[in-house]
Structure formats: C-alpha cells, structure tokens
Structure 1
Amino acid sequence: MVLESPPNERQLIEQFLETLRGLPEVHANLDSWESVAPAGDREHDAQIDLRIAGKSFTLLIEAKKVVYPRDVREVLWQFKELSRSRPSGQGGGESVSLLVAESISPGAKDLLRTERVGYYDSGGSLFLPARGAYLYIDRPPPKTLAKSVRSLFSGRRAQVLHTLLVCHQDWFGVKELAEQAQVSPATASQMLTELGRFDWLASRGQGPNKERHLREPGALLDAWVKQLASIRLPALRRYYVPGMKTDQLLEHAAQVFAAHQVGYAISHEAAAQRYAPFLSSVSQVRCRLLVGRAADAAIGELGARVVHEGANLAIIEAKSPGELLFRERVGDIWLASPIQVYLDLLRSEGRAKEMAEHLRQERIGF
C-alpha cells in the first residue's frame, strides 16, 4: 500500500490510534489510508475500525494542520458530501466522521461539538459523539497553537486589537486601520488575516477596497481576558507622595504631567472610578507614563519617593505613544481607554475584578 498522506498527518492519525487504544474497552485498527472515490477524488485521509464496549463503528478521518472557526464550515461541507457518497453502515457499523488536526482553536472545538462532529488534536483533546458511545477528553491546546494565539495579544499587535474594540462599529481598510492603531500596514494586514480565522470579522468589497468590521467585539475581548495570565506584566514603579489624599494626588499629578508635556493615562481603580463609580474610596493612583527625562522631572516635582510598600502612586512604564491609544480626557485628566482600564483591573488585586465587570457593563457594553 502506498501511503500518500503527508508525514505530519500520518503521525497525527497514528497518535490518535494510540490514544484510542489506551482507553478502556476500546479496540481500534487502521483499515486504510486515503480512500479514493471511483471518480478518483479523495474521500478521506484514513479509515479506522473501532469497537467500544462491543459496539462497532467506522471512523472516516479528515486530517488538517490547524483549524479555526472559519475552517469549520469547509470541514462540515466535506463531511456532509462524504456521508452522501457513503451509505450509513457500509463496511460494518455506524460511520462516524472525525477531524484530526495538529491544533484546533477553542472556538472551532465549540462549533464542532455543537454540530456533533468528532475531533482530535495533538494536545490530546478528543470528542467522539456516536450512538451508544460518547468520548470527551478536554485538554489544554497544543503549545504551538497557544503560543500563536498568545502573540496576538501583546506588543503592536495588541494595538490593532485595541483599535478594533474601541472602534467596533467602524469599517476599516488596511491603511486606515494601520493609521488608527499606529502600526505598519503589514502588521494591520497580518492581524486582519489572523482574526478572520476566528470568524470575528465581517468583510465587504474586494482587493484594495476591501474593508473589515469587528462583528464579535465581546468574543474578542473575552479571548484577550483569557490570555492575560500568560502576558508579561509591564514594569511598575511604586512611589509615595506625602501630604495628599488620592483625589488631590490625581489632580496634582495630572497638572504636573501636563506642565512637563509628558504623555500619560490614568488607569486601574482611579480611572474606573471616574468612568463608572463603584468603590467608596480609592487608595492608589496608577498611571501609564511615557518614560524619559520629562517623566523623571515630573516625578521629581511631585516629591515622590520610591517605596516597596504603602505606595499611593504607581507608574506603569510606557515606551511608545501606542500604549496610550484612545485615552480620554475627563475634566483636566487623561484616562486610559475603558478597554485598557478593564484589562488592567483584571490583573489587579482586591475588589478590582468586581470593578472591572461593573465598568464593562456600564461603559464598554459588550
């Protein structure tokens, strides 16, 4: 027999076989590689004869490298066509279509489960819905997928996400998105391609006139929240400014930063309290500040001294204006965007997470 499947697909299928064989009362054997229809069109990548607790099934395997929600529609169509060309029960037992892939995104898994289509990925996740037999193993995504997804939510790529979320009702061409996000057109184009795989975008037009619109802002924001734990926290400097209550410190710091013409944006509880009051009092001012001589001079004028405990002023070091994107002026104070404040609060302590959910409901709205 000639094995025509690519090596990585063959290895995945063999790994899937070993996983099945490791389960109790399960017997699995590879019947064939790459079945071919009479017209010469490939039907599926492999066929596996499966017995679970005495029940017989025929698994028709479709192998892919990476699957995102956008790819699921194609997979479902392939399985539907396959079921038409192969009557149920042909070859003995119920025929079950199953997708094997190196990595399947969480959203794609959700869609496949909803459609009751089986899957297996190299991380060991398995879903097999069949009459009289139901297998479900949920494991973390493979490291390759986790690293790829995590990279979307940091650095300049995050600026593109920030732009799409803040302007989620707008349509963007690549050039317009790049300008708004303060990134290169190449970065904007790459991010639109990546996000399209998750099926979060709507599109219109063709070629240079093609535009996209974020139709699922809540899903994108939820995905960002899930990645927060794996994203490195920015550098933080802790200070104590004597003789001032928090509200006084907030107003005074804003005046001093403005006088020194240094870019800043108040975040965390102090900003959330201005956007959507929630706490009776705030004990600390946290601020994103563009680092440099102007910033150092402003901190010096405040009379702030470095402390390890008891800080009432915390400076989050910002190294580019893109980190202050979509800040809003409320009174005489620049606040970080509600999206940025929400994400910052979720990485904070105390009642910050409750405050974050209040801010999302009252100000963000998705």
Structure 2
Amino acid sequence: MYESRTTEQHLIERFVEDLKELPEVEAELDYKAQRPPMEREYNAHVALRVAGKSFILLVEAKKAVYPREVRQMIWHLRERSPAQRSRQERMRLTLLIAETISPGAKELLRKEGVGYYDSGGSLFLSAPGAYIYIDKPPPKTLAKSIRALFSGRRAQVLHALLVRQRDWFGVTELAREALVSPATASQVLTELDRFEWLASRGQGPSKERHLREPGALLDAWVKQLVTTRLQTLPRYYVAGIKADALAKQLADVFESREVDYALTHEAAAQQLAPFLSHVSQVRARVLVGASVNAALIDLNARPVTEGANLVIIEVKSPGDLLFRERVSEVWLASPIQIYLDLLRGEGRGKEMAEHFRKERIGF
C-alpha cells in the first residue's frame, strides 16, 4: 500500500512538472487548500492557469485503466464533482491519472470530455478556453502487457476466439480448442474482459463467454504486428514448376515425409478469395523437425537469397498450425493466420490482405 501511494504521488508530481513545460501554462500542487467535504476524496488538487484562465484540477489516481472500468469511473467522478457556484469561482475539472490507460479507455474519456494523464506522458484536458491534447506511445508496462497477449500460447487463445467468434466458450472448452492450459485461457479472457470485447453469461464454473467485438480484437492484433521484428525466412528455388503445381508437389512431399505444414500468404489466399492474376511464390508454415530437410531435398529445393519461389516459415509448436483446413488436397492455414501473414508480406500482400479480410473473414 505504501509503495502504491508513493507511485501515485510521484506520478502526480510528474504530471504537474509536465504541465509547467507547456507554453502559457502555470501549475502548482495545492496541498494546503481548504477543501470542501466532497473534494477530500481526490488524491490531489492542482491549481492550473492556462492562457490567463484559472482552473482547479481534482485529480483521481489509479494503477491502470481499461474501457471496462471507464464508464463507472466517469459516473463516479461526476457524482463527486462540485457544482460551479459563480462566475468568479475558479472552474473545477476532474482529471484521471494512471500509470497505464489503454487506447480504448483514452478514447472513451475524450468522448466524455474527462481529462487524463498517463506515465507515458499522454495528456488530455478540455475546458472552456483551454484545450490540451498530447498523444504519446503507451508506457512500457502497458506495451509489454499487450505484446504478451498477442504472442505465444496466449495468441493461440485469441486465434481460437476469432476463428469461432460466433460460439460461446467455457474456460475448459476454450483451453482445449486453443491447445493451452485452462489457466492460460482464463488469463486471456480476463484481459479481454477489460477491453469490453467479450459478452458473458452464467456464473461460476458454468460461466461462458463470447467474442462480441472480433473486428476490434483483430485490429489490435494487426497493430501489434507493426511492433514486432520480421523473421528471417529460409528461401528456396524449385526449378521448372509454376506456383500452383509447386503447392501440390510440396504437399505430396511433406505428407510422404509426415511433415506438418499449412500453406499461407498469397498461395493460400488465392484459393479462398481469388485476387491476383497469378501467384509467383509459395509460402508454407512448417513444423520444425528432422524430416523437413529430407522433404526439401526430395523437392529439389535449392537455397537462394533472391528469386525464390518457395519460402518456409518455421514454427515450433502444433499451436502455430491451429485451425488449418484441407482444401483441394492441400493443407491451408486458417483464414485469420493467412490474413496476418499477408500483412507481413512484400509486394501486393497488404492489398490482398484487405481484399481477403473483406471477402473471407468478414469483420
């Protein structure tokens, strides 16, 4: 508890110092002010002067803020906000300070005109005659938490929810679908609840959840792709064969060697939602194992640095091939995986991804 109070105090002091750095802004922590009873619950008062206009900021400090908590916080803040009694009295504004405020929570706060500040330096304040909006990258703690949600086994849970976005899941069933432990599934559901992307029904062990905002979740995943480093992929050239025939030959060789795989990128998207006049390259997700090299030798695939018509995306877990489907005697990655892989491709990959999402995914 002491550590929490110290962190809040430090964040409030940083907020005041950041205000002082702005042009035509004066700010001072108001420790000794005689506060009315309704204002004593706030963590701090800040005397603020912006371009000659005076305000009192009533500061509420929190550890972290997500959309799920925002509406209740806004109602609570407004219930406690004192009414303006005269034109001469300095206007009182409520402002929320937190170590982390999620992007969705910030958007809701701005829509409601409630000010905020986070440890990353983002600031919003709107009042008659004064408007301040500074948008900075999320603080490292929030960025790390979100990044973890979209990687590893947690990403498998998101994948399952997106692929079966019309279904209701209990924790155990979802864990089974995603090939993860119930604890991991439960952690992911708790995080998604904070963003208000889930609907729920029932209580206790029989509680079920349903992804009601699949588009928002997929958009958030796309944003995370931009922040991750591109993997260096093994590239090969197979002589004397076109991409469609190469895909079928690749499937035959991998299956004869019992290699688990799934075609992705343009070669897979073209089969599910045609867009290009022709595909010049085959990309496949391949489960790493001793038989992979033997299969590539059978295929007469020659490693190259340019001019490749075959690219291998090495994966280490069966979870990386979740929800692959059999189409025309070839295994294809799930539509969600194909879409995400297209966004990381070259050439017309991003253009094809937009078409594929509209035609095949639909949200």
Is 1:115–2:118 an aligned residue pair? no
Aligned to 1:44: 42
Residue 67 (structure 1) shift = 0.8
Query: Could you tell me whether the CA contact under 8 Å between 1:5 and 1:45 is conserved in 2?
Result: no
Counterpart secondary structure, 1:32: coil
Contact 1:35 1:45 in 2 (8 A): no
Of 249, 252, 255, the match for 1:255:
252
| Partner SS for 1:300 | helix
Opposite residue 31 of structure 1, the aligned amino acid is D
Q: Deviations over 1:96-116 (max 9, x none)?
A: 110011111111100101111
Q: Hey, what does 2:170 align to over in structure 1? A: 173
Question: Is 2:238 the partner of 1:236?
Answer: no
Shift of 1:323: 0.5
Partner residue, 1:78 = 76
Q: Which amino acid letter does the alignment assign opposite residue 358 of structure 1?
A: H
**What letter corresponds to residue 205 of structure 1 in structure 2?**
G
Summarize deviations over 1:219-267 as a string: whole Å, max 9, x none.
0000000000222444521111111111110111111112222111000
- One-letter amino acid of the structure 1 residue matched with residue 234 of structure 2: R
Of 137, 151, 154, the match for 2:151: 154
Match of 2:201 among 174, 199, 204: 204
- SS of 2:31's equivalent? strand
Q: Where does residue 21 of structure 1 map in the other structure?
A: 20
CA distance in 2, matches of 1:196, 1:34: 39
Distance 1:289 1:152 in 2: 23
Which amino acid is 1:214 matched to? L
The letter for the 1-side match of 2:56 is: T
Q: Say whether the 8 Å CA contact 1:290–1:317 is kept in structure 2.
A: yes
Query: Would the alpha carbon gap of residues 350 and 34 (structure 1) be closer, same or farther in structure 2, given more than 3 Å must change?
Result: farther
1:270 and 2:267 correspond: yes
Corresponding position: 1:183 with 2:173: no
Of the three residues 81, 86, 98, the one matched with 2:95 is 98
Looking at structure 1, the residues matched to 30 and 21 of structure 2 have their Cα atoms a distance apart, in angstroms, of 18
The Cα offsets for residues 67-126 of structure 1, whole Å up to 9 and x where unpaired, read as 11112122112212112xx22258931111100111111111001011111001111111
The alpha-carbon deviation at position 207 of structure 1 amounts to 1.0
| Cα distance in 1, alignment partners of residues 351 and 141 from structure 2 | 33
Deviation at 1:294, TM superposition (A): 2.2
Amino acid at match of 1:25: E
Query: How has the CA–CA distance of structure 1 residues 228 and 331 changed in structure 2, closer, same or farther, with 3 Å as cutoff?
Result: same
Match of 1:7 in 2: 6
Root-mean-square deviation over aligned CA pairs: 2.0
Matches within 5 A, 1:61-76: 61-76=59-74
Per-residue CA deviation, residues 298-317 of structure 1 (Å, 9 max, x unaligned), is: 11211111111111111111
Letter paired with 2:15: F
Percentage of matched positions with identical amino acids: 66
Summarize the Cα distance change of 1:89–1:271 in structure 2 as closer, same or farther, 3 Å threshold: farther
Specify the alignment match of 1:328 in structure 2: 325
> Residue type of the partner of 1:281?
H
Q: Is 1:98–1:117's contact at 8 Å kept on the other side of the alignment? A: yes
Match of 1:88 in 2: 84
Alignment of 1:283-302 (within 5 A): 283-302=280-299
SS in structure 1 opposite 2:191?
helix
> TM-score by structure 1 length?
0.94
- Secondary structure at the counterpart of residue 345 of structure 1: helix
Distance 2:101 2:95 in 1: 13
- Give yes or no for contact 1:29–1:49 (8 Å, CA) kept in 2: yes
SS in structure 2 opposite 1:244? coil
The CA distance in 1 between the partners of 2:232 and 2:202, in whole Å, is: 42
CA deviations on 1:278-300 (whole Å, 9 max, x unpaired) are: 11111110000111122222112
Separation in structure 2 between the aligned mates of residue 355 and residue 191 of structure 1, nearest angstrom:
30
Distance 1:271 1:33, change over 3 A: farther
Correspondence for 2:136 among 139, 156, 170: 139
Per-residue deviation, 1:167: 0.6
CA distance in 2, matches of 1:347, 1:67: 31
Query: Matched residues in 2 for 1:276 and 1:194: separation?
Result: 33
Query: Is the alpha carbon distance of 1:199 and 1:242 closer, same or farther for their aligned partners in structure 2, counting shifts above 3 Å?
Result: same
Asked if 1:280 corresponds to 2:277, the answer is yes
Identify if the C-alpha distance between structure 1 residues 89 and 144 changes in structure 2 by more than 3 Å, giving closer, same or farther.
farther
Shift of residue 182 of structure 1? 0.3
Q: Which residue of 2 aligns with 1:217?
A: 214
Letter in 1 for 2:9: R
Alignment TM-score, normalising by the size of structure 2: 0.95
Instruction: Specify the code of the residue in structure 1 equivalent to 2:279.
Output: V
The CA distance in 2 between the partners of 1:225 and 1:5, in whole Å, is: 34
Deviation at 1:34, TM superposition (A): 11
